[in-house]
Structure 1
Amino acid sequence: MRATVWSLADQLGVVARSSAELVAALARDPRRTVVVLPDLHEAEVAELVLDLARVGHVRLIVESRTTSGAYQRLAGNGYAELNLDLEQWRDQERFERWRASTSAGVEVTTSSGQEVELSDPVAVCRADPWLVTAAYEKDEAGEHGGLRAAWLRAGQALCKKTSPASRALVLLSVLGDRADPRYAPALRELAGGAAWDLEWSRVSGDMAPPWPGPVTALATGRGPLAGCLLVAGVDGMVRTVQSADAAARGRMTVSCGQPWDLAALADGTMVYLDKHGHLKLESAWAVRPERSGIAGLLDDSPTRAQRLSEMLRGHRSTSLAHAESAGLGTVVLGDAAGAVRAFGDITDSVSLHEGAVTALAAVSLPMENEATTVPLVYSGGQDGTVRAWSPGSKPMAGTLRRRSCPVVAMDAAWTASGPAAVVAWADGLVEWINWATGAQQTFRPGPPVRAVALETGERVFVGMDEALTCLALRQ
């Protein structure tokens, strides 16, 4: 069942860990879809067919033997049936010739005959991934030192055509600290040939350091929070962890209930977006006010955070980003119609997408004299495009990236080699791109990606429902 779900999800450009998630993903996508399932004989997979058939814009064509469990489950449900056992549906003479041609001692088998040691992390990474998946799925009682749980957690990525080194990296990233302690070193050695180095990962159930919970948004800290990662979760908490090792540093309950997007200002103020699109600013992490002592008493003008809060009052958004500067900085908002608006040092707006803006990232580009900066905005949309725009100017002609699935999260940073960005897509792919050099690398963690963040040192953070991962490009 899982192999069928993962294969269909890959072809349809979504991430699905179960049949229920696949059905839900197709139900949300209004495009007419035809799914063809040849050689289907298992009754369990036939249940998936019945679930998919209830989605109005999905059509299915299924091939099955009349003696199979799948046929028995599907028969009698009112669907059109073309039964080739009935003479009216075949040319008898051609059928006899075909049967004679296939009776010359040719034996067809559905088993590869390959056996895999399911408690050997290196062996499972080198084996046929579909065979490993089927074996783990049948062996419900076996934990295999934590390998089975890790494999089934990231299986959609593990079953793609990739190298054993890349497979080892993915498996290592979701292994968790409850697994057999011998497995991580073995996987890390095999993953030495991958493009990425796993600096750390925190998986559901981890205790040292603890897993921070399901991720809804990520942001890198600035000012008093430099060297930290802000992790927003479904419980209405924003946790700070050390970006170097994920050690817990603090947490704060926000008033919105559940932050959906997040940005950090240089003074520790946090700008966040709730699931209804409302914007709020929280200043609990600011270490000191912008003015203190006599200067603070004499000058009662609004603080920078207060001025930004006033500018953003009443606005609703689908995504947000912030570019720091010596002034107010620039807060960027996207909306459901594809427009992107800038507030702060520059006020401007432009239409960039067909459909909703699903992710934004902003970076401050230093000018030649390095005394001033200009904001550069990257936007991702439901239309599967990534575009660039500098407020106060026309957007860059054309698209930077285009794929057949929506963007779900983005971040950008100014690095030693120029502006770079990380883009997460609805099909589970994470892309790191250096726009100055053209360098590009990808990572597919397996579970759906909810949020990404990028440090100036080009470490990439990937937030998911059951894991938080930190990657660095291998030098």
Structure 2
Amino acid sequence: MRGTVWAVANQLGVVAGTPAELLSALLAGPPRTVRLGGAGHDPDEVAELADVLREFGHVRVVVEAPDEDAPVSKPGDDGPVDVADAEAVCAADPVRVTAAYEAADDEHGGLRSAWLRAGQSLIRDQDPARRALVLRTALPPDADPRIRQALARSAAAAPWHMEWAGACPIAALTVLPGGAPVVADPGGGVRVLPDGGREQSTATRVRAAAASGEDTVLLLDERGRLHRHGGTGTALTKAVAATLARHPGTALAAAADVVLVGDRMGSVHAFGSDGLHQAALHSGRVTALAATASPSLTVRTGGTDGAVRVWSPADGGHGSTVSQRSSPVVALHMGPTPQGPALAAAWADGLVELHRPGRRDVLGFRPGPAVRAVAVTPDGALWVGTEETLIRLRPR
């Protein structure tokens, strides 16, 4: 069933691993038509999923007739898949691998749990090196070292090098001016990596985080209120907090002496020492903001309309589009690098992109689970956070 759910979720631009999660994602959006079935899908699984999705009447389900010339993949078709062999798994048909792991009881050195965690990414059409990279990021802590080594060899041709991955629930990420990453967890805990202890903030259910000075982190909670963690409050942060107490925000960023806030109507507000600058930049809610002050104030904005835009508070205007996709933007972060500001962006369908200064090529990565936060470090590394894991990647 997982393979069918993942395929449908990829088709619809959402992240889901079970029929219930898929239904929940669909109920959160407008009514739509969902097409199920077709070549390679198990008719029994398709029928079961169709019944679940039809139950609430929010979606119109169309079941396509199976293609008789395209048989359904089964675990034993075209010879058995050696699900204990990391290199073989990365090169095999992902639908068959998924079915084999669903039917298996053995963890196979951690491969099974890693595949079932990251399967929505792995089931996509891609080369074995990229699959190996994703599997490495999803391995459990007690995975067999030989599996880790085999996946590292297979991932050597991927465009990313995985530097670290571990269990760590993430709600938001930011980076202090000195380059240290800061992690905010869903319960409001804040930790400076790599060795800082967890400190409880006044925020609960954190939505966004932004560094404001060497020792100050601003947090936006799920109600759109501003919280300060560490450092000393300033007249600016107090004014922004008072404003958001009356008019809740939906996204947050900070750079130098400017605090940026998005709202549910698609507008971005820049609070600074020279006053308030604002612009209507998105159709629908602003979901993510990013800013850097080096060499000058640069702002990127993201929304439920799937657009990432560049905006200059001083110049006003509506901004130009950096990237446009059909899924809502869920996270943005900008980091100053020696070549200029680098931008990390993530969307609700699980895609992360890294836009590097002076480069036309955009590097993509899909961890499998839904992405909650991203951050770029001054040395060009990329942090990717999900509800369960934190991953550090570096472009090759």
Which of 79, 85, 99 is equivalent to 1:134? 99
How far apart, in 1, do the equivalents of 2:354 and 2:253 lie? 18
Alignment equivalent of 2:251, drawn from 319, 341, 346 = 319
Q: In the alignment, does 2:183 pair up with 1:251? A: no
> Is the partner of 1:201 in helix, strand or coil?
strand
**Alignment correspondent of 1:33:** 33
**1:219 maps to which residue?**
174
Q: In the alignment, what sits opposite 1:13?
A: 13
Change (3 A) 1:469 1:383: same
Superposed counterparts of 1:23-422, under 5 Å: 23-38=23-38, 43-62=44-63, 111=74, 112-139=77-104, 141-203=105-167, 212=168, 214-222=169-177, 226-242=178-194, 248-283=195-230, 286=231, 305-315=234-244, 316-324=248-256, 329-346=257-274, 347-366=276-295, 374-395=296-317, 397-422=319-344
Is contact 1:383-1:406 (8 Å) kept?
yes
Moved more, 357-366 or 387-396: 387-396
Structure number with larger C-alpha Rg: 1
Quick one: distance in 1 between partners of 2:70 and 2:141? Answer: 46
CA drift of 1:228 comes to: 2.5
TM-score by length of 2: 0.92
How many angstroms apart in 1 are the aligned matches of 2:193 and 2:285? 31
* DSSP-derived class of the 2:367 partner: coil
Distance 2:253 2:336 in 1: 14
Deviation at 1:122, TM superposition (A): 0.8
- Normalising by structure 1, what TM-score? 0.77
1:459 to 381, 384, 392: 381
Q: Is the 8 A contact 1:41 1:64 kept in 2?
A: no
Structure 2: gaps of 5 or more residues: none
Q: 1:269 to 1:189 in 2, by over 3 A?
A: same
- List per-residue Cα deviations over 1:409-444 (Å, max 9, x = no partner): 000012111221000011100000124432311011
Q: Secondary structure at the match of 1:428?
A: coil
For the residues of structure 2 that align with 1:423 and 1:178, how far apart are their CA atoms?
31
- Paired with 1:108 and 1:177, the residues of 2 have a C-alpha distance of 37
Deviation at 1:34, TM superposition (A): 3.4
Secondary structure of the corresponding residue to residue 35 of structure 2: strand
CA distance in structure 2 between the partners assigned to 1:41 and 1:457 by the alignment: 47
Give the 3 Å change call, closer, same or farther, for CA 308–127 of structure 1 in structure 2.
same
Give the secondary structure class of the aligned counterpart of 1:320.
Answer: strand
Determine the C-alpha separation between the residues in 1 that align with 2:79 and 2:370: 30
Report the residue type matching 2:251 in the other structure: S
CA shift, 1:187, in A, is 0.7
SS in 1 for 2:197: strand
Task: Give the Cα–Cα distance (whole angstroms) in 2 for the partners of residues 445 and 145 of structure 1.
Answer: 20
Any stretches of 5+ residues in structure 1 without a counterpart? Answer: 66-101, 204-211, 243-247, 287-302, 367-373
Q: Percent identity?
A: 43
Change (3 A) 1:27 1:413: same
User: Secondary structure, in 3 states, of the residue corresponding to 1:445?
Assistant: coil
Residue 186 of structure 1 deviates from its aligned partner by 1.1
Tell me the CA shift for residue 250 of structure 1. Answer: 1.8
Q: Give the distance between the partners of 2:120 and 2:272, measured in 1 at CA.
A: 42
* Distance in 1 (alpha carbons) for counterparts of 2:71 and 2:262: 56
Count of residue pairs brought into register by the alignment? 388
Task: Pick closer, same or farther for the CA change 1:307–1:182 going to 2, 3 Å.
Answer: same
| Residue pair 1:417, 1:437 contacting (<8 A) in 2 also | no
Counterpart among 447, 454, 464 of residue 369 in structure 2? 447
Larger strand proportion, structure 1 or 2? Answer: 2
Instruction: Kindly indicate whether the alpha-carbon contact (under 8 Å) linking 1:33 and 1:57 is maintained by their aligned counterparts in 2.
Output: no
